[in-house]
Amino acid sequence: MSAPSVPGVRRQGRGDRSAPLFAGPVVLLAGLFLVLPMGLALVFSLTEIAPLSGEVGWVGLANFATMAADPTFFRSLLNTALFALVTVPGSMAIGLALALLMNSVLPARPLFRTVVYLPLVISGVAVGLIGSLLFNETSGVLRALALALGLPVVPWQSSGPAAFASVVLITLWVRVGFCMIIYLAALQAVPPELHEAAQVEGASGWQRFHHVTLPLLGPATFFLLIMSVIYSFNVFDTVFVLTGGGPGSATEVLGTYAYDTAFGPARDQGYGAAIGVVVFVLTMVFTLVQWRRSRAARDGAL
């Protein structure tokens, strides 16, 4: 993560006088609307905020104590973890498979690729609505399809596991395209000579994949892992629109729970801020651990 030393524009020793002019706007915007709120979030997580007046009262660690005894919070935490555990490896594995497919000899390759990453540009709300069209239990397309094909009808909305599956499926639909793009770029960076050399030595297709291609995909895998986990911890739009966290709290995730707590009927913004802080800490810890692991792996290899 360290920025490599760039040979900059030299100007008598102390630095460029117009640097503030150039760096100022972005630093100011990010400082005011990202860094400052993050700091304030830590403060507000220790307070109680009155719903209408917005008056702030100090409550110490009370919000975190509530959290420790809140079954819905733990359910959301568990759901978020489960969501990440399924969608992250799932989208990466499918993405890799598609990348290998699209990197092979195939007619109309650009068309197939476009189709796979098209869902990426669709907003989370639209994806949620399309999901509702598919998964609605009484008037959905999948129900009609199941009936037409004589398959059993799945209770996508009223059964917790099925609703969770619907969220996972629609997420995979969106995310595999992203994973494919990254892996495709990495595959195309694998020098063909390496494969040819391996072939000369009599390596089979699988051996070549396992010993030549896979190791070179390491950086892409690491990048996807970080990005996908951050995405999973943040997931909101699609769940909010598709299931609203239900049935019960079967699909409640940290994102929807934090929003509902702060801006829903509970009107508890202090507690909402506390949940947000936990999400931030989890994201940060995960990223740092992964980063250190990947650095250790790299250093070990050198």
Partner 1 sequence: MVATVPTRGLTVVDARARTARAPGRPGRRRVGWTLRVVAAVLVAVVMVFPLWVMLVTAFSSGSAYSQTLRLWPSEPTLDNFTRVFAAWPVGSWFANSVAVAGVTTVLSVTVSLTGGFAFAKLRWAGRTPVFLLLLATMMIPAQAILVPQFRLVSSLGLVGTFWAVILPGAAATFGIFLARQFLMAIPTELVEAARVDGASTPRVFWSIVLPLCRPLIAVLTLLALMYQWNDFLWPLVVLRDPALFTLPIGLQFLQGQYLTDHGALMAMTLLATAPLVVLFLVFQRYFVQGLATTGLR
Partner 2 sequence: MIDRRSLLLGGAGLGAAALGGCAGFTGQGGGEASRGQTTLTFVNWSGDAEKAASDALISRFEEANPDIRVETQTVPYADISTNIDSRFQAGDPPDLFRVSYIDIGLYTSQGVLLDLSETIGARAGEFVPGLYEAVVVDQVPYGVPHQIDTTAVLYRTDAFEAAGITDVPTGLEQAWSWAELAEVAERLKGVTGADQYPFVYNWQAAGAYRWLSWLFQAGGRLLTRGLDAAAVASDEGRRAVEFTQRFFTEEWVARNTSTQATTYASDEFVAGTAAMAFVGDFSLPTIDTGADFEYGVLPMPRDVEAASDLGGNAVVAAADGPNTGAAARFCAFIAEEEQMRRYCEATGQLPTLTALTETELAFEVRPDLMPTFVEQATTLTAEQVRQVTVPAFGRINALLGEELEQAFLGGRDAAATVDALAAAVDGALG
Whole-angstrom Cα distance, residue 259 to residue 268?
A: 10
In the complex with partner 2, the residue whose CB is nearer, 73 or 178, is 73
Which of 43, 74, 221, 247 has the alpha carbon at shortest distance from 164?
247
Q: Which of 110, 202, 265, 300 binds partner 1 (CB under 8 A)?
A: 110
- 291 binds partner 1 per the rule CB under 8 A: yes
Residue 58 backbone dihedrals phi, psi, to 5 degrees: -70, 130
Residue 210 CA to its chain's centroid (Å): 27
Q: Which of 70, 168, 234, 246 binds partner 1 (CB under 8 A)?
A: 234
Residue 257: how many CB atoms within 10 A of its CB?
A: 26
Q: Establish whether the linkage from the previous residue to 247 is cis, with ω within 30° of 0.
A: yes
Min CB(143)–partner 2 separation in Å: 10
Residues between 87 and 106 that touch partner 1 (CB under 8 A): 98, 101-106
The contact pattern for partner 1, residues 114-153, with x = CB under 8 A and - = no contact, is: xxxxxxxxxxxxx--xxxxxx-x-xx-x-xxx-xx-----
Min CB(251)–partner 2 separation in Å: 11
Which of 240, 206, 253, 7 has the alpha carbon at shortest distance from 132?
240
Region binding partner 1 by CB under 8 A among candidate stretches 57-65, 70-78, 84-92, 234-242: 234-242
Q: Which of 34, 93, 214, 297 binds partner 1 (CB under 8 A)?
A: 34
Contact 137, 152 (CB under 8 A): no
182 binds, among partner 1, partner 2, none (CB under 5 to 8 A by kind): partner 1
